Structure 1
Amino acid sequence: MNKVLEVLNDFGIVELRPPQKKALERGLLDKNKNFLISIPTASGKTLIGEMALINHLLDENKKPTNKKGIFIVPLKALASEKYEEFKNKYERYGLRIALSIGDYDEDEDLSSYNLIITTAEKLDSLWRHKIDWINDVSVVVVDEIHLINDETRGGTLEILLTKLKEFNIQIIGLSATIGNPDELAEWLNAELIVDDWRPVELKKGIYREGVIEYINGGNKEIEAINDNDIYNLVVDCVKEGGCCLVFCNTKKGAVNEAKKLNLKKFLTNKEKRKLKEIAEEILSILEPPTEMCKTLAECILNGSAFHHAGLTYQHRKIVEDAFRERLIKVICATPTLSAGLNLPCRRAIVKDLTRYTNKGIRPIPIMEIQQCIGRAGRPGLDPYGEGIILVKNDRDYLRAYQALTQRPEPIYSKLSNQAVLRTQLLGLIATREIRDEHDLEWFIKNTFYAYQYGNLREVAKNINEVIRFLEENEFIVDFMPTELGKRVSELYIDPLSAKYIIDGLNEMENEEEIYYLYLISKTLEMMPNLRVYKSEELDLINEMESLGIKSFEIEDLEAFKTAKMLYDWINEVPEDEILKKYKIEPGILRYKVENAIWMMHALKEIAKIIGKSSDIPEKLEIRLEYGAKEDIIELLSIKYIGRVRARKLYNAGIRNVDDIINNPSKVASIIGEKIAKKILDELGVKFGQQKLNL
């Protein structure tokens, strides 16, 4: 007990919050006891996980034990944030902290690290490379454990937890919103801590016709500055020194709202100067800046911003940091922002209660709305937080009232999802965790799915179909992985995607770069592909026919259109042109390219096994990474040189590192002195000083 409190004392924590005390009293420091913590955002969930980590990883003298801990988060961005935070806190005790969020097909050596920050998918992929250090792990903290309910990612987390339960490992699950925490706790054999204590009071209210009506009584009239309700709510908060998050149901909606929120008159001159610097930074990330960069920069000058998947990671980070520094007063975002990012505010406003899905217009789940409004109230900065839902009519009013007062929806296992089962069953067979039907049955009986549904008949049908598919396509034989099956499992791709690749390689009539790009675009990992409009269909079919492609279903046309976009990318078509031509945003392009690199690597590895090897996929993998033709790849490996600068330098005869070192003035005249200095610094050369032999 003492060492944990001593370490907390080192951080200046002398008094624990009620839910943290409760966890300690209920036996958090008993290393054999699992816990499920369901308490509001900002009430100290993470610290409960940290107390468990300290208990396992440090001895009585605050020195490292020989044990390992894993901290699982849902997003790469969140993993990076936690990594920086934990490094600053725990390296002083000699703990080695690792961040593992990279390539799925790598056998990372993490054996010398004490604490590993990762995502469920990355840990799952590491496991497939037969990590022997898993036996040293004695504690795992799972942040946002309710994501076991996620349609696409939940199954992976469930399988991981099912495997971890078999080890002598303490599992700590953290969540702010679970409708049925008792069920999940029972499955995890965990002590359940539910508490509604918050460090800052959260006032929940419904806004209609100029008035906030608070659920617990009382009203507040909002001054009508203009006829935009959101603007009036934001200004009311900003004038009192607060900041706001506005949640919209689409990316476009978030951008449009941010554009309407001009808060210049409420900014000090110092804030305006700083926001100008931030806007310039936004414009410097992509060369040349895209329309979206320009729109975001304009919003930032006004003290507002938008945040969604269409922005690049760097853009999102700049917006988040400026909001934390209270320079940006309002962010308009899609609800994904509420998934674990540490961005508290004074007032969280939910603009929409429904959204478009592939099943038509659907209500946004209560769980998600409560995650959004849970962001309100910054400890130490706000006297209270406010979660406000905007409504227009009586029906919306009723739905808003329910969202603010009812428990979130129960979470359910998503293990019956065929794609999850294909990937996970192959993984379990490839790592020999399942060797026969008995193992399979025993494993499935231990899942959350089996616990919830009791009746295994339905999932058994799915499982038998998947096993048959794996056998028919020669990934396994009698519960033994083939060489192909083992490699596909390590590559961490859906076996159905591997089948598409294999079929495509076998049918290939001529080796064209765009054909390889089309093959990877057909995989499930690249979904959803670009939308094809009626007017484009004929042209696409003609191009596909000329490559010997024989299938023209809408999915094939969408895959081919995506391949054309990737082809433009590797042939240096300006990014802004690509975005306009294919009607996508920078963040989506980056995400597609990232997945394409992964899938091209997988294609290259599968081609080796089936005897269809070629050097084209290898070159395409590198060119996808840099978005460039082959000739400038060496220049692109230098920091601060993107594809536009690389092409300018190459065309002027500067073609490699030595050319840059030997011609600093020429480099400066081509790309500007400021950037040239940064590049030469990176290469260990002072500007104006030539250093020929590095």
Structure 2
Amino acid sequence: MSKKRRSYEIHGNTSSTSTPSRPRRSKLPRQDDLQQRPSSILQEIPQAVEDRLPSPIPKPEGFNEIKEEDFDDDFFDDEDFDTSLFETTINKISTQLTSSFVDPWITPPSSQDPEEVDKREFPLLPVQMNQFMKIKGLKNLYKWQEDCLRMKKVIKSANLIFSLPTSAGKSLVAEVHLLRHLLEGKNGILVLPFVSIVQEKVASLSAIASETGQKFVVEEYAAGNGRIPPIKRRQTPALFIATIEKASQIINCAINGEGPWISCCVVDELHMIGEGIRGARLEATLAKIMFATKQGKGSCQIIGMSATLPNLQDLVEFTRAELFTSDFRPIPLTQYLKLSHFVYRVEDDGKQLMTKFDRQIKPQDQKIDPDGLLPLVLEVIPKHSVLIFCSSRRNCQSVMKLLASQLKMEMVPDDLANKREMLINDLVQELESVGGVDPDFLNSLRFGIAFHHAGLSGPERATIEDGFRDGTLCVLCCTSTLAAGVNLPARRVIIRALTQGRSLLPISTYRQMAGRAGRAGYDTMGEAFIIAPPKDRKRCLELVGGVMNPAESKLDILVYEVILSVLELKLALTKSELLDFFTKYTLVTLTHLQELSVIVARD
């Protein structure tokens, strides 16, 4: 009885087998042909394996190339062809390729060992840090960023508060710490003050999630978005990007077990803890998660970014955090006062702020433009961009119309005119189903001018912000909400009023506005102008060089709500435990503490 053999027909990078009824020599390839094939086979097999691997694939290190001479003359012998050896060789090549592939976004359990964490120089592993910098389009860290990221206690999950001027690059440090927790399979939350900033961060951090191969998911919790309680995922960690109000709900769900535990909580604009009811809610949220951590419900690293405050040490004690401060600003900022028709440069002689005459600017039409806005704008556009901060939404639209009415189409370069027409067409198509776009708005867009405030729809906001970033639009008339973090570049910032709504402009808000000028990566310098009548010169200098108000606890506004929440979450079951919560885990002055003690003892 003849012995059956399997024959192989090799076509490209595939191989198929058949079992004929009897061996037929004609089905086998000729020996001299096969001896010409190994090199091509070896070229095709790695490509086939590569097609099944995740992308991008790093170049294999230590891969020993198998050469044609490794196959002896008998390997493809017609009579003694060893199919098992052939299959073993293919499997060897495949295994060697796949074993050489290392996913840089996977943090191995060994790297999470406390002894290994002690040896780390950065929160992320070196390969992860390199990949992160590549995604961000950066080659080097600022010196302060490197020093801050190297803080050993923070790498070991100690809390951190760092305070620097606007545009210094604080967000990068916070994102690195968040990414570390996410890549270790833990959940994180980023708390932001406004809906618009939440939406911007969702877009930018979703891009990082995509680059990591979806090692984590990004969820938006702002306005009507976000599921309460959040979904508990078994394998994929989540990054929740939330407003202060939504963050409070997420943390409550983490404490009572309805939602996933949060291992890292990053708070932007931490100094807002001293601002009314929103500050009280933020303080209560941080206090509850710290109190829950003390009770053993889980560990949570708190990282806060803050402006320079006179009582920054109080926030450090409240959060039990390490402190990092610096006055670094990557782009120099020059500040000016425009009092009537005269422009003065603000200078610091080391003892006090002084004003030095710079130039005189007269408006083209005193009746239409009494503030002389147009000359200030024309000094910069269209090569660079301008942000004009106004006191109200209505003011934004009025200033937009005022500027557009004084410009002529002959002043607009042809290439910009074409780009703006394309932007207008996109905007009209997007909003056609909801009533269209205001004609005055469309006319202003042709001159590169738009307004930006909370009254814009989602498509309008996205189109305008993208157009401003790529230079199609060069002037934005906006409210103070844009100053709080939406990353829009501007060479010059013009602050048209010393009021915000019905109140005086706070120093913290002015610094955020001025900080929008000269953003790193976009400009080599920044300019901030305050327009005011001559009688307000002293007030202007207070804005430029004044000290911000201390961030004091406002928890007394929500004291009853917080008591009920702590009891409902079973963080405290007795009066002594409740007093322990308020006296050791909240930011309160001695006066507030005495009042709260009376309330707790009474109720």
Task: Please indicate, yes or no, whether the TM-score normalized by the shorter chain is above 0.5.
Answer: yes
- Range with bigger deviation, 248-257 or 407-416: 407-416
Distance 1:286 1:224 in 2: 36
Distance 2:551 2:410 in 1: 45
**Quick check: 1:104–1:126 contact (8 Å CA) kept in 2?**
no
**Matching residue's letter, 1:456:** L
- Counterpart of 1:416 in 2: which secondary structure? helix
Q: Is it true that 1:446 corresponds to 2:584 in the alignment?
A: yes
1:158-188 per-position Cα deviation (integer Å, ceiling 9, x unaligned): 1111122232322110134544322212221
Distance 1:45 1:77 in 2: 18
Of the three residues 412, 425, 436, the one matched with 2:552 is: 412
How far has the Cα of 1:399 moved from its partner? 0.6
TM-score (norm 1): 0.60
Distance 1:170 1:128 in 2: 16
How far has the Cα of 1:19 moved from its partner? 2.2
How far has the Cα of 1:398 moved from its partner? 0.8
Q: Is it true that 1:219 corresponds to 2:358 in the alignment?
A: yes
Q: Is it true that 1:236 corresponds to 2:385 in the alignment?
A: no
Within 5 Å, which residues of 2 pair with 1:380-529? Answer: 380-394=521-535, 396-417=536-557, 420-450=558-588, 452-453=589-590, 455-460=592-597
1:406-434 per-position Cα deviation (integer Å, ceiling 9, x unaligned): 222222222121xx344433333222223
In the alignment, structure 2 segments of 5+ residues that lack a partner are: 1-120, 294-298, 348-355
How far has the Cα of 1:28 moved from its partner? 6.2
Distance 2:203 2:226 in 1: 22
**Quick check: 1:140–1:169 contact (8 Å CA) kept in 2?**
yes
Mark the CA change 1:138 to 1:181 in structure 2 (over 3 Å): closer, same or farther.
Answer: same
**Quick check: 1:222–1:236 contact (8 Å CA) kept in 2?**
no
Distance 1:306 1:462 in 2: 48
1:198-218 per-position Cα deviation (integer Å, ceiling 9, x unaligned): 111111111123333111256
How far has the Cα of 1:341 moved from its partner? 1.3
How far has the Cα of 1:36 moved from its partner? 1.0
Within 5 Å, which residues of 2 pair with 1:287-686? Answer: 293-357=438-502, 362-394=503-535, 396-417=536-557, 420-450=558-588, 452-453=589-590, 455-460=592-597
**Quick check: 1:320–1:343 contact (8 Å CA) kept in 2?**
yes
Distance 2:533 2:262 in 1: 52
Q: Is it true that 1:271 corresponds to 2:395 in the alignment?
A: no
Of the three residues 117, 120, 142, the one matched with 2:241 is: 117
Distance 1:104 1:92 in 2: 23
**Quick check: 1:86–1:97 contact (8 Å CA) kept in 2?**
no
Of the three residues 128, 132, 136, the one matched with 1:7 is: 128
Distance 1:464 1:430 in 2: 18
How far has the Cα of 1:88 moved from its partner? 1.9
**Matching residue's letter, 2:509:** E
Mark the CA change 1:55 to 1:127 in structure 2 (over 3 Å): closer, same or farther.
Answer: closer
How far has the Cα of 1:296 moved from its partner? 2.5
Instruction: Give the length in aligned residue pairs.
Output: 451
2:217 equivalent in structure 1 = 97
More strand by share: 2
Mark the CA change 1:115 to 1:129 in structure 2 (over 3 Å): closer, same or farther.
Answer: closer
**Quick check: 1:138–1:169 contact (8 Å CA) kept in 2?**
yes
More helix by share: 1
1:320-372 per-position Cα deviation (integer Å, ceiling 9, x unaligned): 22111121111111112112211231111111112443xxxx32111111111
Distance 2:139 2:273 in 1: 34
Q: CA RMSD in A?
A: 2.8
1:520 equivalent in structure 2 = none
Distance 1:462 1:270 in 2: 67
Of the three residues 206, 221, 228, the one matched with 1:87 is: 206
2:270 equivalent in structure 1 = 145
**Matching residue's letter, 2:373:** I
Distance 2:217 2:226 in 1: 19
Distance 1:97 1:274 in 2: 35
How far has the Cα of 1:31 moved from its partner? 2.3
Q: Is it true that 1:108 corresponds to 2:230 in the alignment?
A: yes
1:140-161 per-position Cα deviation (integer Å, ceiling 9, x unaligned): 2111212212323111111111
2:39 equivalent in structure 1 = none
1:658-694 per-position Cα deviation (integer Å, ceiling 9, x unaligned): xxxxxxxxxxxxxxxxxxxxxxxxxxxxxxxxxxxxx
Distance 1:398 1:291 in 2: 46
1:235-293 per-position Cα deviation (integer Å, ceiling 9, x unaligned): 11215x22111111111111111111125444322222222233344444555666973
Distance 2:230 2:332 in 1: 44
Distance 1:461 1:283 in 2: 60
**Quick check: 1:83–1:97 contact (8 Å CA) kept in 2?**
no
Distance 1:179 1:429 in 2: 34
How far has the Cα of 1:384 moved from its partner? 0.3
